[in-house]
Structure 1
Amino acid sequence: MPAIAFLECVRCHHHVSADVPQTLCPLCAGSLYVRYDMDSLKHTAKRVNPARYAAESAASLGMWRYRDVLPSVTPVTLAEGWTPMLRSKRYPNLFVKEEGANPTGTFKARGLCLAVTMAKHYGLQHLAVPSAGNAAGALAAYAAAAGIAAHIFMPKDVPFANYLEGVVYGADVTMVDGLISDCARMVGERIKAQKETGTDPSQVWFDISTLKEPFRVEGKKTMGYELVEQLGWEYPDAVFYPTGGGVGLIGMWKAFEEMEALGWVTGKRPRMFALQSSGCAPVAQAYAEGKDVSTFFEHASTFAAGLRVPKPYGDVIILEIVRASGGAALAYSDEAILASVLDWAKQEGIFLSPEGAAATAAYDSLIASGDLKSTDRVVLFNTGGGLKYTDMTAEAMHLRRPGTLPTSMPVGGIITPV
């Protein structure tokens, strides 16, 4: 596993040491990327010897199979990564990357695994995160595994599973009457107050918000390594990615850059499509208007809870990637998203998350319009298991439990006495 050479600001390219915990660039508040000595890695990374790579990585089917391009630390792991690549039954060149197979049921496990791993490496004791839901559940799980306190702020109307996760894992959970932007403001205010009132530095919370620390991107980039390896070390023609904060899309683009530098993959990078709900579409709106930065999306509302991010911190990076790749940022209505959830469940046997269904809705639309060909090889991300959204999806369907449940259930029967 490689040592980190330095952290680099994505905006001004200022270099920062990785010897101590870092948040944003001290010069311009840009996000920091982890950088390695790629020339040295070319001589040590396992892909140089495919036989050795196959033999060694076969015993490690999680994301740490890519430990050659991850920080040199002891992982806090719950067996995250190496999720299935499911071929569609109706579209022979379409593959669904099923991130619901991760611990806590979503792709957020990857980023929080790396962030918590590094927090433990640095000796941090308190981690805080504003979340649209799934990042909170993942932080709670990994913090519990690491023995670190987790402080979670979520909108009060997130899927109930997200609230339950935080409580079950023993996190400090605050439900907020607002959006993730309000949660982020509250986290920032709490940390500022702790510092101003002289709180013991070891007890001050460390903010691991999206793109406000460098390691969630490192965890998410493993999706890029996986999809390329699972396709025989070849790029697909396009990647469809549900985009709220956009860390996964950003991480995959970083992975492609690293793999090319290492000689692990060649050819044209895939077109990157960022998919949103029309009820909260700041990136898609900015893309359509030809802007380089999004504006705050007022009155954000969608049952795709993970897409309800009215102003992504990495909007500039997302828009740059989408345009550089020849892709697009697109938004679809909740009605179209729900229709795609039901279609894929009935026709493919896959219960998509609402966020994942934004991507399938986009695929169907672009195939119908001719902007995408059936011969194009496409990887589409289902970022979480549909079962985590049973309350949200049922509400969108106007579905209620039939009949009346008994107030108590008999315990007796075959195993125990009546």
Structure 2
Amino acid sequence: MPKIDHLECSRCHHRESAETPKTVCPVCAGTFYVRYDLSAARGLQVRDNLPQIDSMWRYAPVLPDVPPVTLAEGWTPILPSRRNPNVLLKEEGANPTGTFKARGMSMCMTMMKHYGIGKVAVPSAGNAGGACAAYAAAAGIEAHVFMPQDVPLANQVECIAYGAHMTLVDGLISDCAKIVAARREEEGWFDVSTLKEPFRVEGKKTMGYELVEQCGWTYPDAVFYPTGGGVGLIGMWKAFLEMEELGWVTGKRPKMIAVQAAGCEPVTKAYREGADASVMFQNAHTLASGLRVPKPYGDYIILDVVRQSGGTVISQTDDQIFESIQDWGKNEGILLSPEGAAATAAYDRLIETEFLSPSDRVVIFNTGTGNKYTDVLNIMQRAHHAV
């Protein structure tokens, strides 16, 4: 098991100890990365003798050496498309709370419990709130969740069932974040917002380890990732760097394709304009609630990763998203989440424009089960047929 060596700012590279809980870099407010002494995990012998458990904790040799708060998250299936075997769908809907958010919150609450934190707060577009509530309950931590009032009903039900203190806000996730920031000191909450603590990235990075292992310890040609806050994409890129340092994988890293919704596309706009960061996207609207993030905190990292990888950022309309949900349901037997369908629709578009070839081996992330979105899918269906 690795020892955490230090925390390193992703922007200015300032270092801090991980002995006590940290939020963001005190110098520039950048996101902290967890850096380990990986010397004991180097080599194929370690890689080929990972713990044979069907959860993300099979990657314990590259995760903090603390007792996990786990509900058996991770090790989700990777399914070949029935129409193109080069297209692999990473089905994150198989996680305990139905989305990839379970990975980040498992690792986050593991560390909150390790540090002795008693109360946490999170602004959420929906699924992170449900996952926070579940894993806080498993850790014996009091959770305060702030979500837009129009999030899918399943997210609201989750928070109530897991005993979290839930507040529905008339606004977007950015408005929820302002409330958490204003009240956290007075209320004694530790803010576990996206990229404002170091360990949700560590949980999400296991998706990178997993997809490479499931691809036979080789990189695919491209990875499609629905990008709201972008922690999954950022975590996977960190995993790829670690695996190369460990000698667990060789070859060219995949093109990273960040996928947004046309009604909320701050990163797409910044990418098109050649900017290093996004600006607040005005009047954000999309029924893919996980993509309705008007200003991602880690936008500068997302843009850097996409450019380093030779990838791109692409947006899809709600109509295109709904059409892809129907297409994959009818032809693949899989009910995609709206966010996952944005990624499958983006794949079709990049094949049409010849950015990619059908012979390229790609992994597309369905970040959650469509079963959590039945109310949203009903709205999308009515809107689609009304046009």
TM-score over 0.5 for the alignment?
Answer: yes
Q: CA, structure 1 residues 376+113, in 2 after alignment: closer, same or farther (shift >3 Å)?
A: same
Cα offset, 1:155, TM superposition: 0.2
Q: Distance in 1 between matches of 2:282 and 2:381?
A: 25
Cα offset, 1:41, TM superposition: 3.2
Match of 1:88 in 2: 81
Determine helix, strand or coil for the equivalent of 2:259: strand
The alignment's C-alpha RMSD in Å is 1.0
Instruction: Single out whichever of 1-10 and 177-186 deviates more from structure 2.
Output: 1-10
Match of 2:287 in 1: 303
Q: CA, structure 1 residues 51+33, in 2 after alignment: closer, same or farther (shift >3 Å)?
A: closer
Match of 2:203 in 1: 219
Match of 1:392 in 2: 376
Work out which of the residue numbers 152, 162, 167 in structure 1 matches 2:155: 162
2:339 matched to 1:342? no
Q: Distance in 1 between matches of 2:34 and 2:88?
A: 29
Work out which of the residue numbers 356, 362, 371 in structure 1 matches 2:340: 356
Determine helix, strand or coil for the equivalent of 1:189: helix
Runs of 4+ aligned residues of structure 1 deviating over 4 Å after TM superposition are none
Cα offset, 1:61, TM superposition: 1.1
Q: CA, structure 1 residues 49+292, in 2 after alignment: closer, same or farther (shift >3 Å)?
A: closer
Determine helix, strand or coil for the equivalent of 2:97: helix
Determine helix, strand or coil for the equivalent of 1:89: coil
Q: CA, structure 1 residues 154+328, in 2 after alignment: closer, same or farther (shift >3 Å)?
A: same
Match of 1:38 in 2: 38
Q: Distance in 2 between matches of 1:144 and 1:124?
A: 13
Q: Distance in 1 between matches of 2:226 and 2:191?
A: 24
Determine helix, strand or coil for the equivalent of 1:105: coil
Determine helix, strand or coil for the equivalent of 2:382: coil
Counting only pairs closer than 5 Å after superposition, residues 16-415 of structure 1 correspond to structure 2 as 16-42=16-42, 47-49=44-46, 52-53=49-50, 57-58=51-52, 60-194=53-187, 204-398=188-382
Match of 1:2 in 2: 2
Q: Distance in 2 between matches of 1:50 and 1:211?
A: 28
Cα offset, 1:367, TM superposition: 1.0
Number of residue pairs matched by the alignment: 383
Ranges in structure 2 where 5+ consecutive residues have no aligned partner: none
Cα offset, 1:142, TM superposition: 0.4
Q: Distance in 2 between matches of 1:152 and 1:295?
A: 25
Q: Distance in 1 between matches of 2:116 and 2:47?
A: 36
Which residue identity is paired with 1:137? G
Q: Distance in 2 between matches of 1:49 and 1:293?
A: 38
Cα offset, 1:51, TM superposition: 5.1
Determine helix, strand or coil for the equivalent of 2:42: helix
Q: Distance in 2 between matches of 1:50 and 1:369?
A: 38
Which residue identity is paired with 1:372? L
CA deviation map 1:295-344 (0-9, x unaligned): 10000000000000000000000000001100001101100001000110
Asked whether the equivalents of residues 2 and 40 of structure 2 are also in contact (C-alpha less than 8 Å), the reply is no
Q: Distance in 1 between matches of 2:368 and 2:48?
A: 33
Q: Distance in 1 between matches of 2:40 and 2:49?
A: 18
Match of 1:198 in 2: none
Q: CA, structure 1 residues 390+364, in 2 after alignment: closer, same or farther (shift >3 Å)?
A: same
Match of 2:11 in 1: 11
CA deviation map 1:159-207 (0-9, x unaligned): 000000000000000000000000000000011434xxxxxxxxx1000
Which residue identity is paired with 2:11? R
Asked whether the equivalents of residues 2 and 38 of structure 2 are also in contact (C-alpha less than 8 Å), the reply is no
Which residue identity is paired with 1:9? C
Asked whether the equivalents of residues 24 and 32 of structure 2 are also in contact (C-alpha less than 8 Å), the reply is yes
Determine helix, strand or coil for the equivalent of 2:28: coil
Q: Distance in 2 between matches of 1:51 and 1:330?
A: 36
Which residue identity is paired with 1:29? A
Determine helix, strand or coil for the equivalent of 1:396: helix
Q: Distance in 1 between matches of 2:46 and 2:316?
A: 44
Cα offset, 1:70, TM superposition: 0.1
Determine helix, strand or coil for the equivalent of 2:90: strand
Determine helix, strand or coil for the equivalent of 1:187: helix
CA deviation map 1:46-84 (0-9, x unaligned): x4245533xxx32x1100000000000000000000000
Which residue identity is paired with 2:150? D
Asked whether the equivalents of residues 221 and 255 of structure 2 are also in contact (C-alpha less than 8 Å), the reply is yes
Which residue identity is paired with 2:20? V
Q: CA, structure 1 residues 49+317, in 2 after alignment: closer, same or farther (shift >3 Å)?
A: closer
Ranges in structure 1 where 5+ consecutive residues have no aligned partner: 195-203, 400-418
Structure-2-length-normalised TM-score: 0.97
Structure number with larger C-alpha Rg: 1
Q: Distance in 1 between matches of 2:42 and 2:95?
A: 30
Which residue identity is paired with 1:27? V
Q: Distance in 2 between matches of 1:210 and 1:382?
A: 19
